[in-house]
């Protein structure tokens, strides 16, 4: 099977929301009047962003999910995707599974695959996503204000736990927890519905891909503010609750969460709880924005916890 047969069979799908989809030299779309176009691209490289033996279906899901997560963090609605693939060989079974994972997630969010590029090379994936939001509206990183609450969606730490267990840095024996962690790592669910309801309510937002403190740090830098984060308030899986001290590095700085961290005025607390309930998304208030620079993680006594890659120790 050659490149064009692979594309035709696995990636060419009806694209009713585009003027022109896969098959020409370029795709054509017409954004909804009164909307801004949001665009983002992400690259996944074998060995760096995923293990070499990951199931191709999971990889197809994740390649798009990490992209959709970026649009969720903008409060935008995703519409069109472009997919660039470097494949070591034309393995039809692999491509079929990869495409199934990618297209299932795309379809569940009304996203159409309108083009891409396919070439031979070390396994590398890049997805470009195009989405829309009403003109002038976006959850920008630069919009946090001193006095804002800091919130995070879902549960933290599971993706990182799965990676660290796999690398032999942790030794967790709970099979159910490990299965949940691996699922969260391989099939992250982008928080698009939450991002959309937050658009009129929140100030700043970012998606948590590199770890909560790191991604919150980007909001702080862009907004020229500081943050206090309460370690005890970080939402975790029920099976981690009793051992949250042991897993604090995963919760606060693990990465691979694909949750949203966002800030909003305290006056919006009830509205945020109500809005998040509609898509059934857990949201937790985990700290507040203050004047200054940098993020401090605090224990229940208000003492700063200093994280390092092996765990944490206390300051002061
Ligand atoms: P060109 O040589 O003009 O760049 P290509 O041969 O790369 O065109 O691609 C042919 C068509 O197939 C284009 O419309 C392109 O967008 C689409 N395409 C190529 N690879 C993919 C892919 N992995 N997923 C979706 N569409 C693809
Ligand atoms: Mg091309």
Go through the domains of the chain in sequence order and give each one's CATH number. Answer: 3-134 (3.30.1330.10), 141-298 (3.90.650.10)
What integer best gives the mean pLDDT of the chain?
94
What pLDDT does 312 receive?
Answer: 41
- For residue 86, the ligand closest to its alpha carbon is 1
What pLDDT does 313 receive?
Answer: 39
Q: Is 7 in the pocket of ligand 1 (CB under 6 A)?
A: yes
Q: How confident is the model over 195-199, as a mean pLDDT?
A: 97
* pLDDT at 310 > cutoff 80: no
- For residue 23, the ligand closest to its alpha carbon is 1
**Is the pTM value of this prediction over 0.85?**
yes
Closest CA relative to residue 115, chosen from 256, 237, 13: 13
Q: Is 23 in the pocket of ligand 1 (CB under 6 A)?
A: yes
- Taking CA atoms only, the protein residue closest to ligand 1 atom 8 is 25
- For residue 115, the ligand closest to its alpha carbon is 1
Tokens matching residue 314: 């206390």
Q: Which of 13, 115, 126 to mutate to test the pocket of ligand 1 (most atoms within 8 A of CB)?
A: 115
What pLDDT does 2 receive?
Answer: 81
Q: Which of 83, 86, 117 to mutate to test the pocket of ligand 1 (most atoms within 8 A of CB)?
A: 117
How far, in Å, CA of 301 to CA of 138, rounded? 36
In ligand 1, which atom is closest to the CA atom of 22? 14
Report pLDDT digits (tens) over 101-121. 999 999 999 999 999 999 999
In ligand 1, which atom is closest to the CA atom of 84? 23
Q: Which of 116, 120, 121, 130 to mutate to test the pocket of ligand 1 (most atoms within 8 A of CB)?
A: 116
Q: Is 5 in the pocket of ligand 1 (CB under 6 A)?
A: no
Q: Is 8 in the pocket of ligand 1 (CB under 6 A)?
A: no
- For residue 83, the ligand closest to its alpha carbon is 1
**Strand order in 77-87's β-sheet?**
35-45, 124-134, 77-87, 112-120
Q: How confident is the model over 217-246, as a mean pLDDT?
A: 94
Q: Is 231 in the pocket of ligand 1 (CB under 6 A)?
A: no
| 297 touches 231 (CB < 8 A) | yes
Report pLDDT digits (tens) over 20-78. 999 999 999 999 999 999 999 999 998 888 888 899 999 999 999 999 999 999 999 99
| 125 touches 44 (CB < 8 A) | yes
Report pLDDT digits (tens) over 155-173. 999 999 999 999 999 899 9
Alpha carbon distance, N-terminus to C-terminus of the chain:
64
What pLDDT does 309 receive?
Answer: 54
The half-sphere exposure of 66 on its side-chain side, counting CA atoms within 13 A, is: 24
pLDDT tier at 265, thresholds 50, 70, 90: very high
* pLDDT at 314 > cutoff 50: no
Q: Is 116 in the pocket of ligand 1 (CB under 6 A)?
A: yes
């Amino acid at each position: 099977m050659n490149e064009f047969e692979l594309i035709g069979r696995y990636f060419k799908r009806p694209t009713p929301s585009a003027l022109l989809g896969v098959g020409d030299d370029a795709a054509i779309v017409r954004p909804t009047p009164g909307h801004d176009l949001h665009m983002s691209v992400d690259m996944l490289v074998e060995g760096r962003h995923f293990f070499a033996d990951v199931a191709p279906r999971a990889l197809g899901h994740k390649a798009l999910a990490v992209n959709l997560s970026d649009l969720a963090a903008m409060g935008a609605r995703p519409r069109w995707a472009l997919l660039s693939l470097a494949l070591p060989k034309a393995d039809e079974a692999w491509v079929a599974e990869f495409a199934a994972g990618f297209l299932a997630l795309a379809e569940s969010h009304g996203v159409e695959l309108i083009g891409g590029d396919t070439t031979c090379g070390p396994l590398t994936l890049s997805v470009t996503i195009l989405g829309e939001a009403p003109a002038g509206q976006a959850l920008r990183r630069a919009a946090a204000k001193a006095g804002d609450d800091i919130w995070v969606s879902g549960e933290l730490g599971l993706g990182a736990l799965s990676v660290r267990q796999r690398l032999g840095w942790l030794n967790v024996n709970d099979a159910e927890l490990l299965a949940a962690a691996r699922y969260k790592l391989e099939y992250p669910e982008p928080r698009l519905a939450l991002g959309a309801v937050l658009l009129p309510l929140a100030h700043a937002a970012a998606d948590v891909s590199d770890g909560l403190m790191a991604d919150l740090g980007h909001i702080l830098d862009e907004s020229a503010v500081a943050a206090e984060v309460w370690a005890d308030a970080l939402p975790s899986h029920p099976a981690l609750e009793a051992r949250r001290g042991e897993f604090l590095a995963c919760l606060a700085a693990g990465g691979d969460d694909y949750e949203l961290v966002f800030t909003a005025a305290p006056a919006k607390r009830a509205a945020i709880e109500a809005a998040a309930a509609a898509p059934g998304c857990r949201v937790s208030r985990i700290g507040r924005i203050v004047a200054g620079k940098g993020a401090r993680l605090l224990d229940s006594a208000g003492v700063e916890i200093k994280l390092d890659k092996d765990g944490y120790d206390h300051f002061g």
